[in-house]
Amino acid sequence: MSSSRIFVRRLAGRGVFDPVGDRIGKVRDVLVVYRAAAAPRVVGLIVEIPGKRRVFVPIGRITSIGAGQIIATGLINVRRFEQRRGETRMIAEMMGREVHLAELTGVATIEDAAIDRTRSGEWIVSEVFVRLPKPSAPFARGDSRIVRWADLRLPTDSPNAQSAESLIQTLVDLKPADLAEALLELPNARMLEVVSELPDNRVADALEEMTETDQVAILGQVSNHRAADVLDEMEADDAADLIAALPAAQGEELLELMEPEEAEDVRRLLEYHADTAGGLMSPSPIVLSAESSVAEGLAMIRRTEIPPAMASAVFVTLPPYETPTGEYVGMAHFQRMLRYPPHERLSALIDTEIEAVSVHASAAEVARRLASYDLVALPVVDDQQRLVGVVTIDDVLDHLLPDDWRHAVDETPLPGAHR
């Protein structure tokens, strides 16, 4: 095994391979155990394998840590990683932690740490890269340096003192599903600290990828004002589902704190049963008049905030063009628009054969209609034939799949590497 020093941040995202070169997964963190009179001992790696599952790979199973990849024995346990008492994740929990340096007053902040293999074969945290405190001669403000772990001591008055800034830098650009997974794997106190620092829209993205139980648990631990700000950033149908899961009094308070326009959409969705098209739909489809051009329709679809399923078609109605609209006329599919010149009117390519579904239709009926017509989105109308929303295939799948579908991966472990 390589005994060269390696900094942990450089390990994040690095591929893990078996001895014949097949990729096992990628590194997400390094797990250590603090010791009273010695440097923290590395006990293993947290590795993300296919299916977004994070598993524990003992350090003893790692045969090489090289410049571009990590080699493991190939024998791993694919049971989902669960952190034990006394274990610390270096990226998620150590980075950003405040420490004392022997020659300085005040505290420094850990920004990175190196692991190294001792002569006895044990992997330890050997050095740390720290940001120094405000002016303290002979160092200028903002200076940083590499110091030995032996020259550090953790503050006794605040053993868990730690900034979320470093961790947030590694999370903020993750895809929503990955961000949700990363947040839920953090210890609760650390997770709440990170949530408090993340932008509202990123917290909303993560919540939309979580189970209802996890959503409620997180919102129950933040202020109602922050919760309302996050709900404002969520898709209206997701926000409605979440509010419906809360106690009625809390849900009403959050609706009062939300932006009036966003709250109005959510209140409208809450009028429908969750198992109906009205309860599943999004109230913000792309709506245009029959006289609009193909170019206008394509311009609306190109907007970055439009989800892919919602961008599969534009919907044509009589005025007004905000839901609930005037009478529903038909839909113009994205692919069909691509086959027409930009100046062509949408009235020339409306698909009138696809009937809109009633707000009272069951989720099962919506699923059958989507499957029958090979669609990813269906228009939803009220009793007056006004367009009130659109149900997309992901809305239906989220409803029909079991609550734990995100974690429904084979739990059978491979031989070896049992924790």
Question: What tens digit of pLDDT does each residue of 251-280 get?
Answer: 999 999 999 999 999 999 999 998 899 999
Contacts of 127-135 spanning 24+ positions with Cβ under 8 A: 127/5, 128/99, 128/152, 129/7, 130/99, 130/101, 132/101, 132/104, 132/108, 133/104, 133/106, 133/107, 133/108, 134/106
> For residue 414, what is the DSSP state?
P
- Percentage, residues of the chain above pLDDT 90: 49
d(CA 209, CA 182): 11
> DSSP letters along 129-144, please?
EEE--SSBTTBPTT-E
Indicate whether 413 pLDDT > 50: no
Which pairing describes strands 287-288 and 108-117: parallel, antiparallel, or unpaired? unpaired
pLDDT at 387: 97
Residues 104, 147 contacting (CB under 8 angstroms): no
> Which has the closest alpha carbon to 191: 220, 229, 212, 152?
220
d(CA 292, CA 298): 11
pLDDT at 13: 84
d(CA 70, CA 307): 37
d(CA 377, CA 358): 14
Question: Packing angle between helix 248-257 and helix 224-233, nearest 10 degrees?
Answer: 70
Give the mean pLDDT of 186-200: 86
Question: Three-class SS of residue 174?
Answer: coil
Per the model's pLDDT, the better-predicted residue between 175 and 347 turns out to be: 347
- Locate 65 and state its tokens: 């840590």
Residues 96, 128 contacting (CB under 8 angstroms): no
d(CA 14, CA 27): 5
**pLDDT interval class at 53 (50, 70, 90):** confident
Residues 111, 144 contacting (CB under 8 angstroms): yes
Question: Three-class SS of residue 224?
Answer: helix
Indicate whether 168 pLDDT > 60: yes
Indicate whether 221 pLDDT > 90: yes
Give the angle 91-209-198 at the CA atoms, nearest 5°.
50
Question: Which of 112-116, 147-151, 170-174 reaches the highest mean pLDDT?
Answer: 112-116
d(CA 136, CA 388): 63
Per the model's pLDDT, the better-predicted residue between 403 and 306 turns out to be: 306
pLDDT at 376: 93
Residues near 121 by beta carbon (within 8 Å), at least 6 away in sequence: 1
pLDDT at 416: 42
Per the model's pLDDT, the better-predicted residue between 175 and 299 turns out to be: 299
d(CA 182, CA 81): 12
Per the model's pLDDT, the better-predicted residue between 188 and 156 turns out to be: 188
Residues 241, 272 contacting (CB under 8 angstroms): no
Query: How buried is residue 31: exposed, middle or buried, by Cβ count under 10 Å (0-12/13-18/19+)?
Result: buried
Q: Which ranges in 172-319 belong to alpha helices (H)? A: 176-185, 188-197, 200-207, 212-219, 224-233, 236-245, 248-257, 260-270, 277-280, 294-301
Query: How buried is residue 351: exposed, middle or buried, by Cβ count under 10 Å (0-12/13-18/19+)?
Result: middle
Strands laid side by side in the 313-317 sheet: 287-288, 313-317, 328-333
Residues 73, 416 contacting (CB under 8 angstroms): yes
d(CA 268, CA 238): 13
Residues 230, 200 contacting (CB under 8 angstroms): yes
What's the chain's Rg over C-alpha atoms?
26
**Would the pTM count as exceeding 0.85?**
no
pLDDT at 105: 63
Per the model's pLDDT, the better-predicted residue between 143 and 30 turns out to be: 30
- Locate 221 and state its tokens: 């631990």
